[in-house]
Structure 1
Amino acid sequence: MNRKTLVLPALAGLLAPALAACGSTDGAGSADAPIIVGVASQIEATKAAPAPLDPAQAYDVDAWNVLRGTFQTLMRMPRSGTAAVPEAAESCGFRDTQNEQFRCTLRSGLKFSNGHALTAEDVKFSIDRLRTINYTNGPVSLLNDIDRVETPNDREVVFHLTKPDATFPQKLATPAAAIVDSQVYPKNSLYKGWQTVGSGPYTLKAEYSGDRLTKAVFTKNPDYKGGLTVKNDKVEMRFFDDSADMDAALRKGDIDLLGRGLSPTQIKSLENSKDKHLMVQAMPGQEIRYIAFNTKDPAVSNKAVRQAMAQVVNRSQLVRDVYGYTADPLYSLVPQGVVGHINSFFTKYGDPNTAAARKTLEQANITTPVKFTLTYSKYHYGPNTAQEFAALQKQLNATKLFDVSVKGVDRWQQFRTDASGGKYAAYGMGWFADIPDADNYIAPFIGKGNFLNSPYRNEKIENQLIPATRQQTDRNAAGDDFKQAQDILADDVPYVPLWQGKQYVAARDNITGIQWALNSSSALQIWELARGVSS
């Protein structure tokens, strides 16, 4: 196989091309060896977040990648397209014209990895448990619109929603709706530790050191009944402290595949490698990066301060100098390629303009320079994050309108806890969409119980625009309401969008299925991988 970069076209939600396999026994192991996937990130247990593999707590891309392999959901996202399809369910659908009652019939003979039967009561238990625990930094907000869950019999589940939600089938495809064993998982508290009991395509053996997961070993589940075709018998997910170590492991053949977390320099180096057994695949992505504000913090509570920041941030410079064009400038929380996207921030603020920012601050009687700290997670979002925030600091302070310091936080869970607790005036965040819909780039950040615990509120978005979009089964018809919401956010600036990432997967050339390895939200689909032969 040609090792040069393969570039795949965009397709809303997921990727849909096909590649041919070629062959030898070169690589990280023999033909029947586990496929080894490298991850440059850490999954850790802390006092505040003691159950990183419990669906009631887990709400980050790396933990969800583990959960997707071990738990089933009623629905799942297909290889291509944005319409969810049945997974643990045999069939699902709305049973009313208002999108308020959703009914599913389970496949027969489902059981958990411990041999317990999986019934409709386990589904109800799992959803009710998520909402009862209501973990602060967890995914509960995705299912907030459920009024009640009924189980007419062992195989039927009926969801009654408090309001219409055409995106509900997609939300049931996320690990937030993972089905857990009601005989194992506590009803009112988190399931601490590293073990999982699910009914997914794999069983899991977790290896850990102290409070960190070091390896996740996935073994094909012989009792799995679902819609996925599992193309391997075993996958090992190994966690690295940094992307340089992961890159070196791939080149040595110690791992077979890696994705996410590579620096632009590493991507270019792998693309230009003379090793014919390495290949790099580029694909569209819908990961976004943004600055979030605690809108009650005195330093940034006046929206004029936030507007002035939006007027001077140079996104093009960031993606050029920090990310080497492996990302694109972003002018809305809704990224390009998602139905309803508009460049609302560019329309309102245009190119970086210090004079305009100065006028904005003067009209609001803001004394300059405005002093605050911009906080970021050192390791969670990749090796270039520190450089990115140093560049932002330089941009802002060069205007003389701001006096910004930057601070990196070592541990992700500590960063998340402090951010949601309102301890940071402004901080950097990323978002990997739960579902491929504009709703998921707006609704999780707005209103009571939002993902960031942000104090920002906007009644029109929360009570009019989002509810209106959720009545539209045809998502194109929801575009005008999404556009209004984006314009409001550009004016209020509770967030400043920065860039939209492209996705890269690097692999040994005896690994097949890498075109399906990641979807556009960076969900890792390990069941698609297989070991072939190298060229």
Structure 2
Amino acid sequence: MNRKTLALSAVIGLLAPVLAGCGGSDGGSGGEAIVVGTTDQYIATDEAIAPLDPAAAYDTGSWNVLRQTIQTLMHVPRGGGKPIPDAASKCAFTDRANESYRCTLREGLKFAGGDPITADDVKYSFERVLKINDPSGVAGLLTNIDTMESDGAREIVFHLKTPDATFPYKLSTPPAGIVSKKDYEPTKLRKGFDVSGSGPYTFKAEVKGDTVTKATFTKNADYTGELNVQNNKVELQPFTDADEMGKALDSGDIDVMTRAMTPEQVESMVEKPKEGIQLTEMPGLEIRYLGFDTDAPTVKEKAVRQAMAYTIDRGDLVTKVYGSVAEPLYSLIPSSIATHTNSFFNKYGDRNLTKAADLLQTAGIATPVKLSLNYTTDHYGEATAKEFETLKDQLNSSKLFEVSIKGTEWKSFRPNQIKGDYSVYGMGWFPDFPDPDSYIAPFLDKDNFLNTPYNNAKLRGELIPQSRREADRSAATNTFSQIQDIVADDVPVLPLWQGKQYVASRDDIAGVEWAVNSSAELLLWELRRGPGAS
């Protein structure tokens, strides 16, 4: 799915480029548009008919389209920090309990094309997401809203069910985007790849069959907001694999190469810099984990999930598959965010087969436990297949498990996972917003992203609400520690690793160090062609 108050001082200021061969070059895409490559795929299917509707989209690739086009009341500024107004001119809590939040819209705010935006449009947009309540779980970001009232054309007040100091961050996410009643029906998703709003760009997709082959972002002359748009046009070019994307960068067919570069590509660019190309390393907040359908017979017993936690060797996994671009993770909350604790390491260490065997024997579970591990072949990068081969080898070599693996394309994998077709599955996560809550609620709270049957009453009824009451997020450290310990004991998810992120670009492109933030959000408006790029 970025301050002292929001617990990310560890990553602020780390956006420093690591240059790999910054020589002169006549390469690049030429022309007006800056061309950005990605391995994200945009596909419409019978089960996902509206991949770019803010009421349904809940993956990094789709959000990276919406952030350019659908404007939100708030925006996380360059380099992180507290959210600041974008479509709004000002927003603030109006009570000490953090239960009532008022925003005033900017004067002259309008949709691309010229129609004015009012507080009623904002209210309509939020109500639409909540009414549709898509199975993706994206509406969960807004379900704490109790009522909304518009006061004149420019004032809107949100009354929350429970205190939530993270609400300003939720107002910066795509489901909180402002859409037009003319283009978006109140209870139906907008099918296909049409997107319209009041963001910094307008959007046009070139489509072949059910798949986007190119997306063009053109500077929106009607945009009124905080962002300073540095270019007139950006083209987003999807690639089916990172090698093809890399060749396109080398040839100058694209200017920027974003997610997902392979570990081998990164290491090659570090060890053998290419003339005319720069590699930029940025702090990353991506995590990878195994999720469980805790109602599935094979993993319903907590002892099975705990035994897997004893058996998997994260260090070995990272070394064999990802090398220096990742590091082991022992909690849902990554180590780069304050409030992180090594709860899984404290409880399980790394690969203790004796304890795993004893645990299964005590629980009366016959071994080897037969499991199928499911992963997506085309969403998180090419290394995912090797990662699951390594996990299979680790589990099977213990003689405690008999594991098979199965890869599925994302267009089918994600709907299958939501429906509960997989007992064990691999997923990745970028935070919805830069706060520890965004690593907890989407997995454990009601209406969560995973649609998991796991329901811990203490987490949902006490600890998660308690963590949101603290405006000073560091004051919630003890609460988050308790949450992480419960997760380590129950193992509804099993954290594996956290990653760094890299962007490669032609050396005539500037602004690259700001164009992808620590949450892997594309900020295309930061890119420009010209002097000062290298």
Among the aligned pairs, what percent are the same residue?
A: 52
Residues in 2 aligned to 1:119 and 1:23: alpha-carbon distance in whole angstroms: 50
Paired position in structure 1 for 2:460:
462
The 5 A counterparts of 1:207-222 are: 207-222=206-221
Question: Cα gap change, 1:421/1:29 in structure 2, threshold over 3 Å: closer, same or farther?
Answer: closer
Residues in 1 aligned to 2:498 and 2:135: alpha-carbon distance in whole angstroms: 27
**What's the CA shift for 1:393?**
0.4
The 5 A counterparts of 1:388-427 are: 388-410=387-409, 412-427=410-425
**SS of residue matched to 1:439:** helix
Write the deviation string for residues 27-76 of structure 1: whole angstroms up to 9, x where unpaired.
Answer: 2234x521100001211111111011110011100111111111100001
Residues in 2 aligned to 1:33 and 1:24: alpha-carbon distance in whole angstroms: 20
**SS of residue matched to 1:325:** helix
Report the residue type matching 2:500 in the other structure.
K
**What's the CA shift for 1:19?**
7.2
RMSD: 1.7
Question: Which range moved further: 77-86 or 424-433?
Answer: 77-86
Paired position in structure 2 for 1:155:
154
* Preserved contact between residue 24 and residue 276 of structure 2 (Cα < 8 Å): no
Residues in 1 aligned to 2:297 and 2:485: alpha-carbon distance in whole angstroms: 24
Paired position in structure 2 for 1:28:
28
Question: Cα gap change, 1:489/1:19 in structure 2, threshold over 3 Å: closer, same or farther?
Answer: closer
Residues in 2 aligned to 1:425 and 1:238: alpha-carbon distance in whole angstroms: 34
* Preserved contact between residue 16 and residue 282 of structure 2 (Cα < 8 Å): no
The 5 A counterparts of 1:43-82 are: 43-82=42-81
The answer as to 2:504 corresponding to 1:506 is yes
Residues in 2 aligned to 1:322 and 1:531: alpha-carbon distance in whole angstroms: 35
**SS of residue matched to 1:287:** strand
Runs of 4+ residues over 3 Å off in structure 1: 10-25
Residues in 2 aligned to 1:209 and 1:458: alpha-carbon distance in whole angstroms: 45
Residues in 1 aligned to 2:81 and 2:366: alpha-carbon distance in whole angstroms: 48
The 5 A counterparts of 1:128-167 are: 128-167=127-166
The answer as to 2:121 corresponding to 1:122 is yes
1:473 to 461, 471, 474: 471
* Preserved contact between residue 19 and residue 513 of structure 1 (Cα < 8 Å): no
Write the deviation string for residues 356-390 of structure 1: whole angstroms up to 9, x where unpaired.
Answer: 10011011111111001000001101000010001
Residues in 1 aligned to 2:420 and 2:321: alpha-carbon distance in whole angstroms: 28
Question: Cα gap change, 1:16/1:114 in structure 2, threshold over 3 Å: closer, same or farther?
Answer: farther
* Preserved contact between residue 259 and residue 503 of structure 2 (Cα < 8 Å): yes
The answer as to 2:291 corresponding to 1:292 is yes
* Preserved contact between residue 330 and residue 499 of structure 1 (Cα < 8 Å): yes
**What's the CA shift for 1:448?**
2.8
Paired position in structure 1 for 2:233:
234
* Preserved contact between residue 39 and residue 238 of structure 1 (Cα < 8 Å): yes
**SS of residue matched to 2:323:** coil
Report the residue type matching 2:455 in the other structure.
R
**What's the CA shift for 1:12?**
4.9
Residues in 1 aligned to 2:476 and 2:35: alpha-carbon distance in whole angstroms: 42
* Preserved contact between residue 38 and residue 246 of structure 1 (Cα < 8 Å): yes
Residues in 2 aligned to 1:18 and 1:296: alpha-carbon distance in whole angstroms: 45
Report the residue type matching 1:252 in the other structure.
S
**What's the CA shift for 1:14?**
5.5
Paired position in structure 2 for 1:451:
449
The 5 A counterparts of 1:422-441 are: 422-441=420-439
Paired position in structure 2 for 1:4:
none
* Preserved contact between residue 25 and residue 276 of structure 2 (Cα < 8 Å): no
The answer as to 2:529 corresponding to 1:526 is no
Write the deviation string for residues 420-463 of structure 1: whole angstroms up to 9, x where unpaired.
Answer: 11111100000010011111101111133111110001111111
Paired position in structure 2 for 1:5:
none
**What's the CA shift for 1:13?**
6.1
The answer as to 2:384 corresponding to 1:377 is no
Report the residue type matching 1:29 in the other structure.
S
Aligned length: 524
Residues in 2 aligned to 1:144 and 1:475: alpha-carbon distance in whole angstroms: 21
Paired position in structure 2 for 1:3:
none
Paired position in structure 2 for 1:6:
none
* Preserved contact between residue 24 and residue 507 of structure 2 (Cα < 8 Å): no
Return 5+ residue gaps in structure 2 as ranges. Answer: 1-7
The answer as to 2:197 corresponding to 1:198 is yes
Residues in 2 aligned to 1:401 and 1:18: alpha-carbon distance in whole angstroms: 45
Paired position in structure 2 for 1:179:
178
* Preserved contact between residue 56 and residue 138 of structure 1 (Cα < 8 Å): no
Paired position in structure 2 for 1:497:
495
* Preserved contact between residue 257 and residue 508 of structure 1 (Cα < 8 Å): yes
Residues in 1 aligned to 2:464 and 2:525: alpha-carbon distance in whole angstroms: 35
Write the deviation string for residues 100-137 of structure 1: whole angstroms up to 9, x where unpaired.
Answer: 00000000111111321111111001000000000001
TM-score (norm 2): 0.95
Paired position in structure 2 for 1:100:
99
* Preserved contact between residue 137 and residue 447 of structure 2 (Cα < 8 Å): no
* Preserved contact between residue 113 and residue 222 of structure 2 (Cα < 8 Å): no
Paired position in structure 1 for 2:5:
none
Residues in 2 aligned to 1:27 and 1:53: alpha-carbon distance in whole angstroms: 32
**SS of residue matched to 1:462:** helix
* Preserved contact between residue 445 and residue 452 of structure 1 (Cα < 8 Å): yes
Question: Cα gap change, 1:20/1:442 in structure 2, threshold over 3 Å: closer, same or farther?
Answer: closer
Residues in 2 aligned to 1:278 and 1:81: alpha-carbon distance in whole angstroms: 27
* Preserved contact between residue 447 and residue 456 of structure 1 (Cα < 8 Å): no
Question: Cα gap change, 1:135/1:309 in structure 2, threshold over 3 Å: closer, same or farther?
Answer: same
Question: Which range moved further: 267-276 or 183-192?
Answer: 267-276
**SS of residue matched to 1:62:** helix
The 5 A counterparts of 1:322-337 are: 322-337=321-336
**What's the CA shift for 1:149?**
1.2
* Preserved contact between residue 278 and residue 508 of structure 1 (Cα < 8 Å): yes
Residues in 1 aligned to 2:434 and 2:445: alpha-carbon distance in whole angstroms: 21
**SS of residue matched to 1:166:** coil
* Preserved contact between residue 202 and residue 218 of structure 1 (Cα < 8 Å): yes
TM-score (norm 1): 0.95
* Preserved contact between residue 11 and residue 283 of structure 2 (Cα < 8 Å): no
* Preserved contact between residue 311 and residue 352 of structure 2 (Cα < 8 Å): yes
* Preserved contact between residue 322 and residue 384 of structure 1 (Cα < 8 Å): yes
**What's the CA shift for 1:196?**
1.3
Paired position in structure 1 for 2:256:
257
Return 5+ residue gaps in structure 1 as ranges. Answer: 1-9
Write the deviation string for residues 181-212 of structure 1: whole angstroms up to 9, x where unpaired.
Answer: 01221000001121111000011111111111
Question: Which range moved further: 72-81 or 426-435?
Answer: 72-81
Question: Cα gap change, 1:12/1:117 in structure 2, threshold over 3 Å: closer, same or farther?
Answer: farther
Residues in 1 aligned to 2:310 and 2:25: alpha-carbon distance in whole angstroms: 55
**SS of residue matched to 1:150:** strand
Write the deviation string for residues 207-240 of structure 1: whole angstroms up to 9, x where unpaired.
Answer: 1111111111011111110000000111000000
Residues in 2 aligned to 1:29 and 1:406: alpha-carbon distance in whole angstroms: 40
Write the deviation string for residues 229-272 of structure 1: whole angstroms up to 9, x where unpaired.
Answer: 00011100000011110011001111001122111111122223
Paired position in structure 1 for 2:246:
247
Residues in 1 aligned to 2:228 and 2:16: alpha-carbon distance in whole angstroms: 16
Report the residue type matching 1:352 in the other structure.
R
* Preserved contact between residue 284 and residue 503 of structure 1 (Cα < 8 Å): yes
